[in-house]
A and B are shown apart, each in its own frame.
Chain A
Amino acid sequence: MQLETKIYQKENNLKIGKLLKASAKDFFGSLFLAKQLAIRDIKAQYRQSYFGLFWAFITPLTTAFVWVFLNMSGTIRLTDTGIPYPVYAFSGTLLWSIISDSINSPILSTTAAKGILSKINFPKEALLVSGVYKLLFYSAIKVVLLLVFIGFFGVGYHASLLLFPLALLGVIIVGTTVGLFITPIGMLYKDIGKFITIALSMLMYITPVVYVLPKEGFMKTLMEINPLTPLILTTRDLVMGFTPEYLSYYFWVLGISFPLFFMGLLFYRISIPILVERMSA
């Protein structure tokens, strides 16, 4: 039987094809490990809590509630959204939470696995996949709640709802791609993580999350440039049964993300040994 041969040396093999093949092999070879890690984290998180899964959607729910309250009480005046405002606000904060979770997912999964990264050699892709699994799980819970809202507020269930999961998957891929590129440097410097948190909370206000795109002005231009805008709007339009307005921009963002995603994957793969070296004594 031919034994598998591994070579470790300073020089990197930069043949993209070979690297991609190795990465893909580890990616698919580690699906069980990824699933196991995701199940472990989800179970562990809720076994020590009474309210359990309730915590998964409490953040977007409270943010939405704050905006609903501000709007209803007349503290701020928002343009009509075309659908009941609570549904609009909740769908926005929910989609936003999925975007921000998927951007943070690679760095969180990698940091959480520091202990095993410096001790055991396993396919690192499993960490990313387990991050995606967890995202899908939590997103599914949020989506169920959203569906309940839609029914409750009489928006109705449209056929375009069937495309919604696909659009959501696109959102997760875009977010994870962004996360992949910041992970290696973010693992070295804590500043990156803190910066991302602040940047995301500010970005939310130039994305149509809790209010609609203005008809004109500087804010409209800014929001239209923001690549997160088509992600939010397209997915929301599909839920509500509207014709997506920014569909072509959405496909552009997704189309650029795909090749970047694979590059990010390779960057992540070859960066791990350097990170392990710097983070463990």
Chain B
Amino acid sequence: MQEDKEVLIKVEHLSKKFCKDLKTSLWYGVKDLYSNITGNFKERALRPKEFWAVKDISFELRRGECLGLIGHNGAGKSTLLKILNGLINPDEGKITIKGKVGALIELGAGFNPILTGRENIYNNGAVLGFTRKEIDTKIEDIIDFSEIREFIDMPIQNYSSGMKVRLGFSIAAQMEPDVLIIDEVLAVGDLGFVLKCFKTIDAILPNTAIVFVSHNMPMVSRICTEIILMEHGNSQFQGNDVGKAIDLYYQRFTQNDSNIVFDDKRISLLSVNFSEKVKTNNKVGILNWGEELVFCFEIKFNLPFNEIPYFKLIFLDKELRGVASVKQDETFFNKVKIKKDEKISFNVSIDNLQLSKGIYSVNLMIVDRKREVSILRCNNILSFQIIGDTQIWQPFLLDSKFQLN
């Protein structure tokens, strides 16, 4: 089924080198200008002070597919996009692109701050390759899509960055490309607009081959069908297993440091661990989906307490978004008087954990029950990984039964 869709982008052993030193770079530039007019047939080796910004990347992309390029800052993603867009030439390898190429690398290129929004629609539209007639027929759609009709005749130097992005995307959305290249440009818009943008991208995806650069993994796992994880210009991982690529990406950023955010010295956290039932690997708990998770706490009270305070546990995903909170077990917090310097230890267990595959960290808040004030707040006290077969981008995989009525 997939085979009969045509290959729109074909990249073969692509490499690009850059120079670390400006003066040397300029001199190489002059040399390149010369070798350029003689045809550039010589093999290119690294010259002093040069490095490979992109090295030996190959892939093919068909209509309807979306390639995600991920990697930390400076991994070579944007350089690769620039070569794909034909802005700079490769040093090795070859790219073959079929069809009309649209690039969302910078929105609102060619905008002039003194001119009004309406005038700038014509400027940006012309840069993107529209004819005057096309812009004339599309201008109302563009203004409506951007939702800034009220300010369309105002100089855009008075626009906020979000408004400029709105206008820029609205113009770019009128392109009907065969190949779409997206760098992280939509981050500035407000939520409503970002949702609108992705709706547009979803709509054109089936007829387009998309190359998508992003640091937003839920977005990547939502729209990408293939991933290249780049590091130092090389492809570290390449394939259709989006989940695995994202796990590899996150592994580069895992940190095991817990940090105390707030402490009024009334309670000391002596230790917190997984129970012995939970397997661990380098202090990270490893659980199957649906298993029981058990924490063991050891606490010392530095002052007398009339009752045990609440222990609030919050689970966060890799992007540090809270995904779950642990319900307090009221039977545990009965009125027990606690003396000064008393130590207690207790377990917290969570049955049938239905979080989806991925790495999660745990934040702890100890809160006074009566006055609802924090006593101790500590981030990332532990982290654990859920393993399983089902890869989804939503945080929960809920157990269910389906039956006929």
Residues of A participating in the B interface, judged by any CB pair closer than 8 Å: 3-12, 14, 32-33, 36-37, 40-41, 43-44, 47-48, 115-122, 184-185, 188-189, 267, 270-271, 273-278
Contact = CB atoms under 8 A, between A and B. Distances in A.
A32 B127 contact: no
Given A36-B123, A278-B29, A270 B36 contact: yes
Interface in B19-64: 25-26, 28-30, 32-33, 36-41, 44
Contact of A188 (B30, B88, B126, B132): B30
Contact of B89 (A10, A119, A189): A10
A236 B127 CA distance: 38
B304 to A, nearest CB: 61
B41 A11 contact: yes
B110 interface: yes
A6 B97 contact: yes
B192 interface: no
Question: Which 7 pairs of residues, A with B, have the shortest CB-CB distance?
Answer: A119-B106, A36-B126, A3-B99, A33-B126, A3-B98, A8-B95, A116-B109
B364 interface: no
A9 B36 contact: no
B388 interface: no
B115 interface: yes
Given A10-B89, A44-B114, A36 B122 contact: yes
Contacts, number: 144
B358 interface: no
Contacts of B100: 3-4
A120 B94 contact: no
A274 B127 contact: no
Nearest to B92: A10
B101 interface: yes
B158 to A, nearest CB: 14
Given A4-B98, A36-B122, A116-B127, A270 B91 contact: no
Given A270-B36, A274-B29, A278-B26, A33 B90 contact: no
A10 B103 contact: no
Contact of A276 (B88, B126, B131): B88
Given A8-B86, A40-B112, A276-B88, A32 B33 contact: no
B29 A120 contact: no
Given A12-B39, A14-B39, A273-B87, A185 B33 contact: yes
B37 A115 contact: no
A58 to B, nearest CB: 21
B151 to A, nearest CB: 17
A8 B80 CA distance: 12
Given A7-B95, A188-B26, A120 B109 contact: yes
B129 A185 contact: no
Contacts of B82: 118, 276
12 contacts: A7-B97, A9-B93, A10-B44, A12-B36, A12-B40, A36-B126, A40-B115, A40-B123, A47-B115, A116-B110, A119-B103, A277-B29
B20 to A, nearest CB: 11
B40 A117 contact: no
A48 to B, nearest CB: 6
B268 interface: no
Contacts of B94: 7-9
Contacts of A44: 112, 114-115
Given A10-B44, A10-B92, A267-B37, A121 B115 contact: no
Interface in B121-157: 122-123, 126-129, 131-132
A270 B129 CA distance: 20
A274 B33 contact: yes
Contact of B110 (A40, A121, A189, A273): A40
Interface string B281-321: 00000000000000000000000000000000000000000
B26 to A, nearest CB: 5
A188 B100 CA distance: 31
B115 A10 contact: no
B96 interface: yes
Contacts of A116: 106, 109-110, 127
B214 to A, nearest CB: 17
A32 B36 contact: no
B348 interface: no
A5 B178 CA distance: 11
B105 interface: yes
Contacts of A275: 29
Contacts of A37: 110, 123, 126
B7 to A, nearest CB: 11
B127 A185 contact: no
Given A43-B115, A120-B127, A274-B89, 11 more contacts: A3-B100, A5-B97, A6-B86, A6-B97, A8-B95, A10-B40, A14-B37, A44-B112, A121-B101, A270-B37, A273-B88
A185 B30 CA distance: 7
Contacts of A270: 36-37
B123 A276 contact: no
A271 B103 contact: no
Nearest to A11: B40
